[in-house]
Homo-oligomer: A and B are copies of this chain.
């Protein structure tokens, strides 16, 4: 079923939804963030929250009831905490939408409505999860409250794949430069703002810590000046993710500071890929995380090559019970 029809079906049974809960773990939690950010910014009456799955399971919000939509997400659909959260949400009477790449997975079976996203085959396919999660949010907002920028959001949601495929064609040289420069660093900081805030988080905890065993920290670049910036010094390594949108002023302020003190700075800027001109209507900020994430994937791949540490290498995940 199309996402638009899923929400229409839910609305028939539940015309008075109060809460929308997003639930996932790690990268899948982070990939729900643009949807959460969009809804929290634009919803006039809906209540919005985002949880790592076991926090949702152990400290379940009282708002989880028949007036809630719960969106759960897991790439392979086997993440135990997320499957448990999806089942819990069904027991509590919520309408449950699961987003996964595997339509036969435990998560796919623990939901009322299934959204299968692409993954293999291209960099834009890897952004289908994040983009479909955002589309679910757009449909929820438009059908329950009305949303005047709906048409622009839908057009952008369709156009983003082509923009990503174009963007990634040209970034390998910059990614190689990054990889050579950062391959031996003791720690790498990643920061951003707005819809891209959790892309910084997931690059830090998944691509660097999990897949490269490199030390890393991440934070919102609006928070940079309220603590973390004291670590800044010549050659301290940062990755700054710059949005095309309202929060860009925060990204720019952080960049100015990093450059002033000669920090080792790599910028991934949504504006470098023509996002704003190809996604008109003031909605580029909501699609900045997709294009930046896709580009970052190539940066991670080049880092893996130069460090001779494949992105699939693990010591614990998939190998142990824990």
Contacts and interface: CB of A to CB of B under 8 A. Distances in A.
Interface of A: 18, 25-29, 40-49, 52-55, 58-59, 61-63, 79, 81, 186-187, 193-194, 201-202, 204-206, 209-211, 213-220, 222-223, 225-232, 245-247, 249-250, 253, 256-257, 260, 285, 314-317, 322
A187 B79 CA distance: 29
Nearest to A80: B225
Contact of A231 (B18, B213, B230, B322): B213
A146 to B, nearest CB: 12
Contacts of A194: 55, 58-59
Most chain B CB atoms below 10 A, which of A49, A206, A226, A230: A226
B246 A231 contact: no
Contacts of A314: 230
Given A210-B228, A257-B322, A49 B40 contact: yes
Determine how many copies of this chain the complex contains: 2
Contacts of A217: 187, 204, 209, 215-218
Nearest to A52: B222
B230 A81 contact: no
A217 B186 CA distance: 12
23 contacts: A25-B223, A28-B226, A42-B61, A43-B63, A44-B63, A53-B222, A55-B247, A55-B250, A58-B250, A59-B246, A79-B226, A81-B222, A186-B187, A186-B215, A202-B227, A205-B223, A209-B217, A209-B228, A210-B227, A216-B217, A217-B218, A229-B316, A229-B317
A205 B222 contact: no
Contact of A47 (B29, B47, B61, B232): B47
Contacts of A230: 209-211, 213, 314-317
A270 to B, nearest CB: 15
